[in-house]
């Protein structure tokens, strides 16, 4: 079996992708059965964009941390609850403004560590914690966070705008280390100061202000390929990802097979028109981030992987919704 086909099989079995398969059904039901479920720029986006009486959207996002991390590494769980939400706000081109948390635990020491992680992250990302709910006598242990942000209505970045001919660009910080508590995590935050971290994250607000990209998503636990799949499916298109430049982007000591599946702590995928590519790369450099052009959006319903002279199809979205709900909300 060729290396490419080994990678395809690896990705098909990757839990970070396979657990997304339930999303289309859940989101479809919420859209069709909940009150005003077809609200624009909401279900299916990383952050819901809520209209206001002024020229800004209020952004709203929610993320939960798996119980295993809460039990075994509670400080990291609290920190990552903030990180996950902040990334969603920046992926929409916004600025985070507030954070709320729900905590559940029975072990007081775990509760203390969860709080330590939350407080540390609030300083690292400069986001105030304004509201919370705590159950200190629960049978389950979890942390669920929700963040708000703002973005100008004309600068909103969505996941659903990629068009054929766009280049797909990975934006990330090559400096970092493998996650201490999650092997498929790339940590570019722990050893950064707050100012250094925010400077890198605001690359997305600069990109949004210059209106340089057509679509945007943060690199989630679905990894680079899973995130690319969600973006193009939500946009109603397909793409080809060239694994050679992806491999060239790998940080030192990280194999391609791992990098493709990694949650990248300061990582984003964007789609950009070719005529805006050079300006985009300049903005990325100004924010001391790294970039790799890894693929192209196509007028298909396929996600194809290419490695040297060989190609293979990973996703065929023409067979029905796979990772995201049918159609976009733009």
Architecture of domain 3-22+158-319: Alpha-Beta Complex (3.90)
pLDDT in tens, 8-41: 999 999 999 999 999 999 998 998 999 998 888 8
Report which of 225, 238, 163 is spatially closest to residue 9, judged by C-alpha positions.
Answer: 225
Residue 38: what pLDDT? 85
Residue 241: what pLDDT? 98
Rounded Cα–Cα distance for residues 94 and 49 (Å) = 10
**Helix (H) or strand (E) run with residue 34 in it:** none
Torsion-angle region of residue 236: left (phi > 0), alpha (psi -120 to 50) or beta?
left
- pTM to 2 decimal places: 0.95
**Helix (H) or strand (E) run with residue 203 in it:** helix 203-209
HSE of 116 in the Cβ direction (CA atoms, 13 Å)? 11
CATH 3.30.1330.10 positions along the chain are 46-152
Per-residue confidence of the chain (330 residues) as pLDDT tens digits?
799 999 999 999 999 999 999 999 999 899 899 999 888 888 889 899 999 999 999 999 999 998 999 999 999 999 999 999 999 999 999 999 999 999 999 999 999 999 999 999 999 999 999 999 999 999 999 999 999 999 999 999 999 999 999 999 999 999 999 998 889 999 999 999 999 999 999 999 999 999 999 999 999 999 999 999 999 999 999 999 999 999 999 999 999 999 999 999 999 999 999 999 999 999 999 999 999 999 999 999 999 999 999 999 999 999 888 998 765 443
Report which of 85, 117, 121, 86 is spatially closest to residue 103, judged by C-alpha positions.
Answer: 117
Please name every residue paired with 305 in a beta bridge, in sequence order, or none if there are none: 241, 312
Rounded Cα–Cα distance for residues 142 and 103 (Å) = 6
The domain 46-152: what is its CATH number? Answer: 3.30.1330.10
Rounded Cα–Cα distance for residues 121 and 152 (Å) = 25
Helix axes 223-235, 3-12, angle to 10 degrees: 70
Q: Are 233 and 328 in contact (CB under 8 A)?
A: no
Q: Side by side, which strands form the sheet with 56-65?
A: 48-50, 56-65, 142-152, 95-104, 129-135
CATH 3.90.650.10 positions along the chain are 3-22+158-319
**Helix (H) or strand (E) run with residue 100 in it:** strand 95-104
**Helix (H) or strand (E) run with residue 284 in it:** helix 277-286
């Amino acid at each position: 079996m060729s290396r490419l086909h080994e990678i395809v099989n690896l990705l098909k079995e990757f839990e970070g992708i396979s657990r997304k398969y339930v999303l289309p059904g859940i989101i479809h039901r919420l859209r069709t059965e909940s009150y005003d479920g077809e609200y624009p720029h909401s279900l299916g986006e990383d952050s819901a964009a809520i209209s206001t009486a002024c020229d800004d959207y209020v952004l709203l996002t929610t993320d939960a941390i798996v119980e295993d991390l809460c039990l075994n590494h509670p400080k990291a769980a609290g920190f990552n609850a903030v990180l996950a939400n902040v990334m969603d706000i920046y992926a929409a081109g916004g600025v985070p403004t507030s954070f709320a948390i729900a905590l559940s635990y029975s072990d007081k020491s775990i509760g203390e560590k969860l709080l330590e992680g939350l407080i540390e992250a609030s300083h690292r990302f400069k986001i105030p914690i304004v509201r919370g709910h705590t159950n200190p006598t629960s049978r389950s242990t979890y942390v669920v966070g929700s963040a708000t942000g703002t973005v100008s209505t004309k600068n909103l970045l969505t996941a659903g705008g990629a068009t054929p001919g766009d280049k797909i660009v990975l934006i990330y910080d090559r400096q970092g280390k493998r996650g201490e508590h999650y092997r498929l995590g790339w940590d570019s935050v722990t050893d950064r100061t707050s100012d250094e971290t925010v400077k890198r994250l605001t690359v997305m607000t600069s990109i949004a202000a210059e209106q340089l990209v057509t679509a945007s998503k943060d690199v989630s636990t679905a990894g680079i390929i899973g995130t690319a799949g969600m973006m193009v499916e939500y946009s109603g298109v397909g793409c080809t990802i060239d694994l050679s430049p992806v491999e060239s982007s790998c940080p030192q000591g990280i194999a391609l097979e791992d990098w493709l599946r990694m949650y990248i702590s300061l990582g984003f995928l964007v789609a950009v028109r070719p005529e805006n590519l050079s300006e985009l790369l300049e903005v990325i450099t100004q924010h001391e981030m790294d970039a790799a052009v890894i693929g192209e959006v196509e007028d298909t319903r396929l996600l194809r992987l290419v490695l040297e002279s060989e190609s293979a199809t990973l996703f065929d979205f023409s067979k029905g919704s796979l990772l995201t709900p049918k159609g976009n909300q733009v």
